[in-house]
Structure 1
Amino acid sequence: MNFDNKPEELHRQNIPTARLPSGTVIEIPILSYEAKAEGPTLFLMAGMHGDEINGVEIIRRIITQGLYKVSAGRVICIPVFNVFGFINFSREVPDGKDVNRSFPGSQNGSLASQFAYFLMQEVIPHIDYGIDFHTGGKQINNFPQVRAMLEDPTNKALANAFAPPFIINSPFREKSLRKESGKLGKSILVYEAGESLKLRKPAIDVGLNGMLRVMKHLGMIKEAPSPKSAPITISKSSWTRASRAGLHYAQARNGSFVKKGDIMGVISDPYGEYEKKIKATHDCYILSVNNNPVVNRGDALFHTGVVE
């Protein structure tokens, strides 16, 4: 790919990456903007999972509001990476695989692997830093949070600059974009907020303002919105799961702090024969809530985190 566009012009490249069975070409639009002054290259991407659309809206606003017009450095935007999933309201590509578990990819591998390979070969070598925008999947509602490698000083500094409500210490996952980019010295944050196939203004606003604070931290712009409060850093997190199937009524508020023994939710059967309270096993913050009212045994209900 060619990112040597004229300074202070928004450049769009429509990159053909695949075809539908009908023969229709699938293109990934990639937009880039370069300032006259030298500086870092910041990569902004959404739609890795096609049904996670809060990030798509964040980057759409970045484009329509001209927030990509930095005074130093370069911005590369991919509003929708997994075009297949986006048009099919799906997390995956048609082969059923998760693109974010397919890195570094292969030119002749599965469709998900080919998408990953394209990104690693054509885009990632040109960047310095990145923000990968996500939401919760399968009706999981994520309270606005950034996932970062806090052992990495650069990644930690970016996360603190973003200043979301929660910063979660998140080790690299195998075959993920974060891990494979990290091997190349590229520092990428993952922003998680909201629920799949639903647009939520608070999640979008926090992501947009956090992105601007990262730009300011990198010296790309001079002003950015101040965070409403200092981020809470979560050192360890875990899932509270359903001990039996039934109807789940979440009672604890997403993003809130609960104490050991507090009731977070209730599982009951449809016939009024039993009711089981879900209690917090320790003092913790609630990072995510499962909004699906019908659950099976073992389903993730609450993602909780503790601060050391």
Structure 2
Amino acid sequence: MHDYIEINEKKVARGEDKLINLSIARLPTYTSIDLPVRVIRGENPGPVLLISGGLHGDEINGIEIIRRMLVKNILKPECGSVIAIPLMNVYGFIQNVRGVPDGKDINRSFPGSKSGSLANLVAYNIMKEIIPKVDYGIDFHTGGASRSNFPQIRCTFDVPENIELAKVFSPPVILHSKLIEKSFRKAAFKKGKQILVFETGESLRIDNFGIEEAIKGTQRLMKYLGMIQNAPEPQQTEIFEKSSWIRAKIAGLFHPKVVLGDNINKRQLLGRITDPYGNETVKVVSNYNGKVIGLNYNPVVHKGDAILHIANRAKP
């Protein structure tokens, strides 16, 4: 552990707690948009843990998870340091959208470019100023528009340390998720950093159950890394190697018969899709045993829309 962590030419010594504004770019109005970065350091040596949220601007749960931990002083380590970035996509947050004003997804823009678009600029600054300083990270996410996720850690089972950290976090579900090109997680992995992705709830909605699961998991991980002494006891976690989306066979109104977290059986009725006029009903039936980890809450669906996400192959 270094005596100082330096971000944007500002130094934070052991035992200090500082807010650093990382300049990203400016709007057409010449209004500057900065990325607020909180650096919280313990007095004693230890690892540096990144806690990040809001990479997609409409994913509010990650922002709220970190806000609550900051307010409750949960992220104050005895050993090591925490770098907390509640809101990485300020642009998207302002407009309640996933991406940035040019329509691009920051999480498909890494490692970014100093001379690129807004998405590339955000990615570039995170990779240049933040990632070199950290050892581990938790990136908090939320389901897409109208699609809610059951609390889950996504990690790659191909990297033993990655799944070990996920087990320590002890969420309700751990799901194998390969490293995706140009994603934050893969760009960090190429730099030797282990990043877990936690998913819960749906965009623009607060999911208190998932938020509390995230907070307890973060405490468990910090204890495992030797940063704090006390954390909630681990819970039973279900681990899945595979998942699949069930898609609508027709357009209409979707009426689910299951809820997030339900265990389901092959050939079980999961819901129905009806037309608006009372003339047609199509059953939605499971093709396998599994667990509901994602659910589309928008009743109006088109043919081919993803309506249920099923984790369907448990790891022994």
User: TM-score scaled by structure 2?
Assistant: 0.95
**Residue 83 of structure 1: aligned partner:** 90
Asked if 1:231 is matched to 2:237, the reply is yes
Contact 1:12 1:29 in 2 (8 A): yes
Partner of 1:6: 13
Counterpart in the other structure of 1:289: 295
Q: Please give the secondary structure, in 2, of the residue aligned with 1:276.
A: strand
Contact 2:99 2:106 in 1 (8 A): yes
Return the offset for 1:3.
6.5
Structure 1 residue 5: Cα displacement = 1.0
Sequence identity percentage: 45
Within 1, Cα distance between the matches of 2:258 and 2:65? 28
Q: Which residue of 2 aligns with 1:220?
A: 227
8 A Cα contact 2:57 2:91, kept in partner:
yes
Contact 1:143 1:288 in 2 (8 A): yes
- Consecutive aligned runs of 4 or more in structure 1 exceeding 4 Å deviation: none
Task: Report matched runs for 1:2-41 at 5 Å.
Answer: 2=9, 4-41=11-48
Partner Cα distance (2:21, 2:127) in 1: 17
Asked whether the equivalents of residues 241 and 300 of structure 1 are also in contact (C-alpha less than 8 Å), the reply is: yes
How many Å apart are 1:253 and its aligned residue? 1.6
Residue 252 of structure 1 is matched in structure 2 by 258
C-alpha distance in 1, partners of 2:207/2:310? Answer: 21
Taking a change above 3 Å as real, the CA distance of residues 295 and 108 of structure 1, as seen in their structure-2 partners, is same
Aligned residue for 2:278, secondary structure, equals coil
Aligned equivalents of 2:257, 2:251: Cα separation in 1: 17
Cα deviations across residues 130-153 of structure 1 (Å, max 9, x unaligned)?
A: 000000011111000000112211
CA RMSD of aligned residues (A): 1.0
| 1:260 to partner: Cα distance | 0.6
Post-superposition offset of 1:6: 2.7
CA contact (8 A) 1:3 1:32 kept: no
- Number of positions where the alignment pairs a residue of Structure 1 with one of Structure 2: 307
Judge which range, 3-12 or 185-194, deviates more: 3-12
Q: Distance in 2 between matches of 1:207 and 1:291?
A: 22
The one-character-per-residue Cα deviations of 1:108-134 (angstroms, maximum 9, x if unpaired) are 112111111111111001100000000
1:135 aligned partner = 142
Question: Which residue of 2 is the match for residue 51 of structure 1?
Answer: 58
SS in 1 for 2:47: strand
Aligned partner of residue 199 in structure 2, secondary structure:
strand
Task: Give the equivalent residue in structure 2 for 1:185.
Answer: 192
The aligned counterpart of 1:167 is 174
Q: Deviations over 1:143-169 (max 9, x none)?
A: 000001122111111100110000001
**Alpha carbons 2:10, 2:20 under 8 Å: kept:** no
The alpha carbon displacement at 1:273 in A equals 1.1
| Aligned match of 1:303 | 309
Shift, 1:9, TM fit: 2.2
- Of residues 222, 241, 254, the one that matches 2:247 is 241
Instruction: Check the 8 A contact 1:246/1:296 in 2, yes or no.
Output: yes
Q: 1:29 is paired with a residue of what secondary structure?
A: strand
- State TM-score, norm by structure 1: 0.98
- Whole-angstrom CA distance in 1 between matches of 2:307 and 2:48: 38
